[in-house]
Structure 1
Amino acid sequence: MSTPALPVSIFAGRSNPALARSIAEAYGQELGAVTLKNFSDGEIYVRYEESIRGTDLFIIQSTPPPAENWMELFLMVDAARRASAARITAVIPYFGYARQDRKDQPRVSIAARMIAKMLQDAGVDRVLTMDLHAAQIQGFFDIPVDHLYGSAVFEEWLEEHTLALATSNGQSPKDFRRNLVVVAPDVGASKIARAYAKRFQAGLALIDKRRPEANVAEVMNIIGDVEGKNCLVIDDLCDTAGTLTSGAKALTDAGALDVQAFCTHPLLSGPAVDRIEASPLSRVIVTDSVPLRRASDKIEVISVAPLFAESIHRIGSDESISTLFVD
């Protein structure tokens, strides 16, 4: 490995300490010392407990609700800028507010654009994130954005588990892969589903749905052949699991042999876990981009720490990371 151009320091906010520690461990160093606390009125206090002058600083902070996670990141960036860090990279495994990326109704905010501006105003030089809900959010920034994809870790998982999956369905590994169909749960996910289908050498199907209101989805049609197939639903995030579980039921009703899902960001709010457990889904594979709110026998977590650690190494060494974010 080439030597980093600047000394690398890795710090973390409080939103996902387990992932932050795993990333630092995979990189080969400990997390830096930083004091993060709340005053009695809720205000956040940030102080770096070691010198970061002239360092290539990476701040790891996922930003699921509450919005306090964003505020903590902004303050960590501001403190680092004032402490003379040479370069600041915000490592945001899950980029919150990404669903508010356009003005789709009158008198609404474009929150993702506002967040991008606030990050830059705070002093961020670069952003490293994964599976943005809307890839065009990269265009909201005037600084480099490295957009990783979860497909690499999901593909590795699928390769390792093909035999077990095939056996559980009474198939040979060859037949299992031949009958594999990647399913987009809505039109918005069709591009990434197509990329997965190409990567997995699988068929492709699409669930046509409508959303009468936020967090409510109704399946209208299934486009593609899923009868007797092993269906793999692909989505960037799972919030209330309404889309995922209604889609799984529609696929099963259409004759799917087995339905599993890959979801990068397991927000799993409200009734999500109960819905998954009561659904025809045999398994939901998620990453540790956000902490899992509640465990379930149907939910399996795989880590993206090695992917982020390798990205940090390449950024710190001024190497290309394009091979890591090709979808």
Structure 2
Amino acid sequence: MTKFTVISGSSSEDLAKKVAKKLRANLIKSQLKIFPDGESKITLNEKPQKNKIIVIQSTYPPVDEKLIQTLAIISKAKEYGTEVIVVIPYMGYARQDREFLPGEVITMKVIANLFKSVGTSKIIVVDIHSLLGLKYFKIKTKNVSAIPDLAKYISKLKLKNPLVVSPDKGGKDRAKEFAKILNVEYIFLDKERNRKTGKVKIKSTNFDQIAGRDLILVDDMISTGGSIIKATEFLKKQKCNRVFVACTHALLRNDAENKIKKAGVTKIISTNTIPGNTSLVDISGMIVKAII
């Protein structure tokens, strides 16, 4: 009997296939039908064996739709599996992990309760936006980092005197780790975001070490690209050379990819937590390590 059975949600079929192959596990696809009223109907293509089941599904936009689909698959897997390990490569709602303004719902806490209620034994996420969100889960959790795989890809590019840059202070540790792997320097920008309007402003004034160097802007996720665009525009004013962007999750909403490139970014490099044009780095290997 196979030790694991992998069930793929519709949003992570390619990644699930790669994970199943590495685990030598049976792969079961889920068939999805969306009714005219927006409801999702999910059917598993075959009956899982009674063993450890791994459900893999990213909850990128439309987030609510993907989330409900994921919970439905888990509940069905629980009928067969002795243990249901859930891999959410991109976890939606991770930014709603605290009450920033009075009256805001901590949605991540609600999500955590839902995953437990449908029978999740353990949840694995990749570079979750805030580790605080995992504290709401009353089950085993593991956050794995895509930074080593991203850095490995970047190291193969022929960069001129590279410098790693975090677009804000919050990503300082991420940039530091990235730079350490590449054995280069790093800096971070002083960014300010208006909580009500969402507008971003960079308060940093000048960095003498930027001029003439290839820069690697490192972030965990890119949604509309506002922070990356502002950072790129600032860095270009400092007379840097090329700007590369490396991120785990490339949501790239509202034509963000074109807007980022128009701002002066040479290349966007992301992982396959979210499939797309920029998902050049495969993270199936690190997910397998987290499972076993």
TM-score above 0.5, yes or no: yes
126-135 vs 299-308, greater mean Cα deviation: 299-308
The answer (yes or no) to whether the contact 1:59–1:88 under 8 Å persists in 2 is yes
Q: Is 2:70 aligned against 1:73?
A: yes
| Other-structure match for 2:254 | 270
Q: Is 2:142 aligned against 1:155?
A: no
Match 1:234 to one of 205, 218, 243: 218
Q: Secondary structure at the match of 2:21?
A: helix
Q: Distance in 2 between matches of 1:19 and 1:305?
A: 6
How much does 1:308 deviate?
2.1
Q: How does 1:31-70 map to 2 (within 5 A)?
A: 31-52=27-48, 54-66=50-62, 67-70=64-67
Relative distance call for 1:32 and 1:262 in structure 2 (3 A) is same
- Which runs of 5 or more structure 1 residues have no equivalent in the other structure? 167-175, 315-327
Q: Secondary structure at the match of 1:15?
A: helix
Relative distance call for 1:38 and 1:271 in structure 2 (3 A) is closer
The answer (yes or no) to whether the contact 1:55–1:86 under 8 Å persists in 2 is yes
How much does 1:215 deviate?
4.6
How much does 1:53 deviate?
5.2
Letter in structure 1 aligned against 2:163: V
Relative distance call for 1:214 and 1:92 in structure 2 (3 A) is farther
20-29 vs 150-159, greater mean Cα deviation: 20-29
Q: Distance in 2 between matches of 1:261 and 1:51?
A: 42
Letter in structure 1 aligned against 2:85: T
| Other-structure match for 2:203 | 220
Percent identity among equivalent residues?
Answer: 25
Q: Distance in 1 between matches of 2:7 and 2:206?
A: 46
| Superimposed CA distance per residue, residues 143-166 of structure 1 (whole angstroms, 9 cap, x where no aligned partner) | 1111111112112212322xxx23
Letter in structure 1 aligned against 2:218: I
Relative distance call for 1:200 and 1:80 in structure 2 (3 A) is same
Letter in structure 1 aligned against 2:187: A
Q: How does 1:1-327 map to 2 (within 5 A)?
A: 7-52=3-48, 54-66=50-62, 67-81=64-78, 83-161=79-157, 165-166=158-159, 176=160, 179-212=161-194, 213=196, 215-221=198-204, 224=207, 225-292=209-276, 295=277, 299=278, 301-312=280-291, 314=292
Letter in structure 2 aligned against 1:188: G
How much does 1:49 deviate?
4.5
Q: Distance in 1 between matches of 2:219 and 2:47?
A: 41
Relative distance call for 1:271 and 1:45 in structure 2 (3 A) is closer
Aligned residues: 289
Q: Distance in 2 between matches of 1:27 and 1:132?
A: 24
* RMSD of aligned residue pairs (Cα, Å): 2.1
| Other-structure match for 1:324 | none
Superposition TM-score, scaled by structure 1 size:
0.81
| Superimposed CA distance per residue, residues 48-87 of structure 1 (whole angstroms, 9 cap, x where no aligned partner) | 4544353100000000121110001111111122x23100
| Superimposed CA distance per residue, residues 273-297 of structure 1 (whole angstroms, 9 cap, x where no aligned partner) | 22122112111111111122xx4xx
The answer (yes or no) to whether the contact 1:283–1:300 under 8 Å persists in 2 is no
- Which runs of 5 or more structure 2 residues have no equivalent in the other structure? none
Q: Distance in 2 between matches of 1:288 and 1:215?
A: 27
| Superimposed CA distance per residue, residues 89-110 of structure 1 (whole angstroms, 9 cap, x where no aligned partner) | 1111100111111111111111
How much does 1:269 deviate?
0.2
| Superimposed CA distance per residue, residues 221-268 of structure 1 (whole angstroms, 9 cap, x where no aligned partner) | 157532233221110001111110110111121122222110110100
The answer (yes or no) to whether the contact 2:4–2:26 under 8 Å persists in 1 is no
Letter in structure 2 aligned against 1:281: V
Q: Distance in 1 between matches of 2:133 and 2:68?
A: 19
